[in-house]
């Protein structure tokens, strides 16, 4: 089992969906990512919180075996996000964003974290992503997430870090913006020609596509009877994907395919409840059971 | 090999997409359906055209082995549709609809057509769909397509025919309107409780979901580098699905899954060109090759 280093955000979220509403609950991309990954491998977290961040949340993350040595506590408030979803659950409407301590965040990497097996550069300024990558011994696998804000405002810096990573994990709208083409196959070709060996495109309730020189892999999302809150689904996917990959050490295309299913499994659980509530009571047995359910969901017989 | 009876529309389409424009080309749901199905089985077509319908199109349909004995020619003009797609190719904007001879269409079923192996009730007035169903010896399998116009204006008549069929093939927006719920799993449960044993939900570029008492099947659409014109994709899907099902006679859940892949294969070819241009030069070898490509697209290894 290797160790997986992640840098990203820890936040307080306030979320309203047609199925309920929560205020100032635990959230943030790195929180969802590391909790999800912790079901598979050792996770080292780099992030920042304010002095308003309660011990209860720290205890939860510790209880998942996540190493919090790189979780900086600074005077001030923790990053806060408020959003709302309509019945069309695929996209959040952001109502408020208060960066707070995240605004001046400069990731510091504790010495024991500088030789990770795998690295996930969560959605932060691409210049900071490159800085983190430069400060560690090159891991076996480096993945990166980003968003439209950086694609629009720091395109050159983003391409600079993309040239040095292995796997880009991105949603479809962001992929089209980055590749400047409406066709995802073309977009993937463009990206693959500039560095990353694998491009994973998240399509929310419609599943995932993976582009790799050995071929394309497509997986539907797991059809759920009750989706309560899609917040963190993409980060939970990435956490399951990277967690399984780090633990298995199998970076072949077939290993990547299995990792995508584990990522999809984790995301499918996460959306069943608000915040990380479903993650808090999830078991490894449930994860493997849903992996097998994905196999049944997608299987069809070959031509005889 | 059984025979597949289809009732639906034959039309002239005028279509504009970001990749080109065509005027008054061959179109219509039954045209796409029967051409696609003709690669697998014997198709008997029931539809109406005007006296402006050229022999060239009749010859093409005949060349596909489609029996045109039920294709009524009436004085007046053939049904015409004009639509446009933006880069978001999933949904057409309808600019003009001229029903013409379709307005007073009352399907007549030639005697040799009254004992079909399988029946596809294309998207027409649900009262006419029921009438056709009542006029044939109950086929082994009956599938039906519909649209929002009938869901809104003839809901009761639609449920009346739905209670008598086996397979509903519908797109996601229509499914939500019919089931009056945003969640597709709930919608499928509602529909399955009222008659059909199988519900197939088409999601355009995102693929297909099939709900059946034995479980759910999900298949992505084939990722294509160049989609020229999505017109007829849903009908081509239904034609490949029903054509394969009729030919194989395998109505088990695993047979339905294979039929869905053949439907998806046919749709993936159809969108590569305008009108039925790709269908006109398609071969059975290409179809089987893309079926195998779908297997590669969706396969992942079981847990060891």
Q: Which of A182, A185, A257 sits opposite B223 (nearest CB)?
A: A185
Q: Which of A220, A288, A297 sits opposite B303 (nearest CB)?
A: A288
From A50's Cα to the closest Cα of chain B, the distance in A is: 38
What distance in Å separates the CA atoms of residue B29 and residue B10, rounded to the nearest whole number? 7
Task: Confirm or reject contact between B304 and chain A (CB < 8 A).
Answer: no
pLDDT in tens, B168-210: 999 999 999 999 999 999 999 999 999 999 999 999 999 999 9
Q: What are phi and psi of B37, to 5 degrees?
A: -65, -30
CA angle B190/B191/B193 to nearest 5° reads 70
Contacts 24+ apart (CB under 8 A), A91-99: A91/A204, A92/A230, A92/A231, A96/A14
A253-270 helix and A284-298 helix, angle to the nearest 10 degrees: 110
With beta carbons under 8 A apart, name residues in chain B contacting A218.
207, 220-221, 223, 297-298
Compute CA distances B43 → A22, A48, B36, B79, B156, whole Å: 56, 66, 10, 21, 30
| A30-62 b/e (C-beta count within 10 Å ≥ 16 → b) | bbbbbbbbbbbbbbbbbbbbbeebeeebbebbe
pLDDT in tens, A15-46: 999 999 999 999 999 999 999 999 999 999 99
Residues of chain A with pLDDT under 70: none
With beta carbons under 8 A apart, name residues in chain A contacting B215.
296-297
Q: Which residue of B has its CA nearest to A206?
A: B206
Give pLDDT, residue B177: 95
With beta carbons under 8 A apart, name residues in chain A contacting B300.
217, 219, 254, 257-258, 260-261, 295, 298
Q: Largest Cα–Cα distance in chain B?
A: 66
**Tokens representing A236?**
């939970």
What distance in Å separates the CA atoms of residue B37 and residue A263, rounded to the nearest whole number? 37
Q: Which of A182, A216, A221 sits opposite B297 (nearest CB)?
A: A216
CA angle B169/B273/B42 to nearest 5° reads 50
72-101 in A: which are within 8 Å (CB) of B? 87-89
Let me know if B19 is exposed, middle or buried by CB neighbors in 10 A (0-12, 13-18, 19+).
middle
Give pLDDT, residue B262: 98
Q: Do A295 and B302 touch (CB under 8 A)?
A: yes
Q: Largest Cα–Cα distance in chain A?
A: 66
Q: Which of A209, A227, A258 sits opposite B300 (nearest CB)?
A: A258
The number of CA neighbours under 13 Å toward the Cβ of B281 is: 6
CA-closest candidate to residue B39, choices B65, B2, B11: B65
pTM: 0.95
Give pLDDT, residue B91: 81
pLDDT in tens, B28-63: 999 999 999 999 999 999 999 999 999 999 999 999
Give pLDDT, residue B195: 92
pLDDT at B3 over 80: yes
pLDDT in tens, A69-122: 999 999 999 999 999 998 878 788 999 999 999 999 999 999 999 999 999 999
Q: Which of B225, B298, B301 sits opposite A218 (nearest CB)?
A: B298
Task: Confirm or reject contact between B265 and chain A (CB < 8 A).
Answer: no
What distance in Å separates the CA atoms of residue B117 and residue B124, rounded to the nearest whole number? 21
What distance in Å separates the CA atoms of residue B290 and residue B265, rounded to the nearest whole number? 6
Give pLDDT, residue A156: 97
With beta carbons under 8 A apart, name residues in chain B contacting A224.
183, 185
What distance in Å separates the CA atoms of residue A119 and residue A114, rounded to the nearest whole number? 10
Give pLDDT, residue B304: 77
Q: What is the DSSP string of chain A?
A: --EEEEE---EEEEEEETTEEEEEEEE-HHHHHHHHHTTTSEEEEEEEEETT--HHHHHHHHHTT-EEEEEEEESSPPEEEEEE--SSTTSPEEEEEE-GGGGG------GGGSS-SEEEE-SS-HHHHHHHHHHS---SEEEE---HHHHHH-HHHHHHHHTT-SEEEEEHHHHHHHHTSS-HHHHHHHHHTTS-SEEEEE-GGG-EEEEETTEEEEEPPPP-S-----TTHHHHHHHHHHHHHHHH---SHHHHHHHHHHHHHHHHHHTTSSTTHHHHT--HHHHHHHHHHHHHHH--PPP-
Parallel, antiparallel, or unpaired for β A198-202 and A208-212? Answer: antiparallel
**Tokens representing B164?**
């008598």
Q: Which of A89, A203, A215 sits opposite B206 (nearest CB)?
A: A203
Q: What one-character DSSP code corresponds to residue B6?
A: E
pLDDT at B15 over 80: yes
Q: Which residue of A has its CA nearest to B254?
A: A300
Q: Do A220 and B220 touch (CB under 8 A)?
A: yes
The residue written with tokens 């989706």 in the block is A227
What distance in Å separates the CA atoms of residue B237 and residue B233, rounded to the nearest whole number? 6
pLDDT in tens, B111-124: 999 999 999 999 99
Q: What is the DSSP string of B185-214?
A: HHHHHHHHTTS-SEEEEE-GGG-EEEEETT
Task: Confirm or reject contact between A185 and chain B (CB < 8 A).
Answer: yes
From A66's Cα to the closest Cα of chain B, the distance in A is: 25
With H, G, I as helix, E, B as strand and everything else as coil, classify residue B248: helix
Compute CA distances B151 → B73, B125, B204, whole Å: 29, 10, 20
From B88's Cα to the closest Cα of chain A, the distance in A is: 8
Task: Yes or no: say if A130 and A165 are a contact pair by the CB < 8 Å rule.
Answer: no
Task: Confirm or reject contact between B215 and chain A (CB < 8 A).
Answer: yes
The residue written with tokens 């409840």 in the block is A273
With beta carbons under 8 A apart, name residues in chain A contacting B213.
none
Q: Determine the average pLDDT of the residues in B145-167.
A: 96
What distance in Å separates the CA atoms of residue A202 and residue A218, rounded to the nearest whole number? 10
pLDDT at B1 over 80: no
Strand partners, B21: B16
Strand partners, B74: B50
What distance in Å separates the CA atoms of residue B70 and residue B73, rounded to the nearest whole number? 9
Task: Yes or no: say if B29 and B8 are a contact pair by the CB < 8 Å rule.
Answer: yes
CA-closest candidate to residue A267, choices A57, A63, A43, A35: A35
| Ordered domains of chain B (ranges, CATH) | 3-298 (3.40.1190.20)
Q: Do A220 and B227 touch (CB under 8 A)?
A: no
Q: Do A217 and B257 touch (CB under 8 A)?
A: no
With beta carbons under 8 A apart, name residues in chain B contacting A17.
none
pLDDT in tens, B134-150: 999 999 999 999 999 99
Strand partners, B25: B13
pLDDT at B247 over 80: yes
Task: Yes or no: say if A192 and A211 are a contact pair by the CB < 8 Å rule.
Answer: yes
Task: Confirm or reject contact between B281 and chain A (CB < 8 A).
Answer: no
Q: Do B219 and A298 touch (CB under 8 A)?
A: yes
């Amino acid at each position: 089992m290797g160790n997986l280093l992640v840098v990203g955000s820890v936040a307080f979220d306030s979320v309203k969906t047609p199925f309920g509403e929560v205020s100032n609950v635990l959230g943030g991309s790195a929180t969802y990512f590391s909790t999800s990954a912790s079901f598979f491998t050792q996770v080292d977290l780099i992030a920042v919180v304010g002095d308003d961040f309660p011990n209860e949340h720290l205890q939860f993350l510790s209880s998942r075996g996540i190493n919090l040595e790189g979780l900086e506590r600074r005077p001030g408030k923790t990053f806060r996000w408020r959003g709302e979803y309509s019945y069309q659950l695929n996209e959040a409407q952001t109502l408020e964003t208060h960066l707070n301590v995240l605004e001046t965040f400069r990731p510091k990497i504790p010495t024991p974290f500088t030789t990770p097996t795998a690295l996930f550069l969560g959605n932060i300024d691409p210049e900071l992503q490159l800085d983190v990558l430069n400060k560690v011994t090159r891991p076996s696998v480096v993945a990166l997430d980003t968003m439209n804000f950086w694609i629009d405002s720091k395109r050159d810096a983003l391409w600079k870090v993309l040239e040095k990573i292995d796997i880009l994990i991105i949603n479809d709208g962001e992929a089209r913006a980055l590749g400047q083409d409406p066709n995802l196959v073309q977009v993937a070709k463009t990206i693959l020609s500039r560095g990353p060996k694998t491009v994973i495109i998240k399509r929310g309730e419609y599943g995932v596509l993976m582009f790799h020189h050995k071929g394309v892999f497509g997986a539907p999302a797991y059809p759920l009877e009750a989706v309560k809150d899609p917040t963190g689904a993409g980060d939970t996917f990435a956490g399951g994907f990277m967690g399984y990959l780090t633990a298995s050490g199998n970076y072949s295309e077939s290993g990547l395919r299995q990792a995508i299913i584990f990522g999809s499994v984790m995301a499918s659980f996460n959306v069943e409840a608000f915040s990380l509530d479903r993650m808090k009571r999830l078991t490894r047995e449930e994860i493997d059971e849903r992996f097998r359910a994905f196999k049944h969901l997608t299987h069809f017989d070959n031509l005889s």
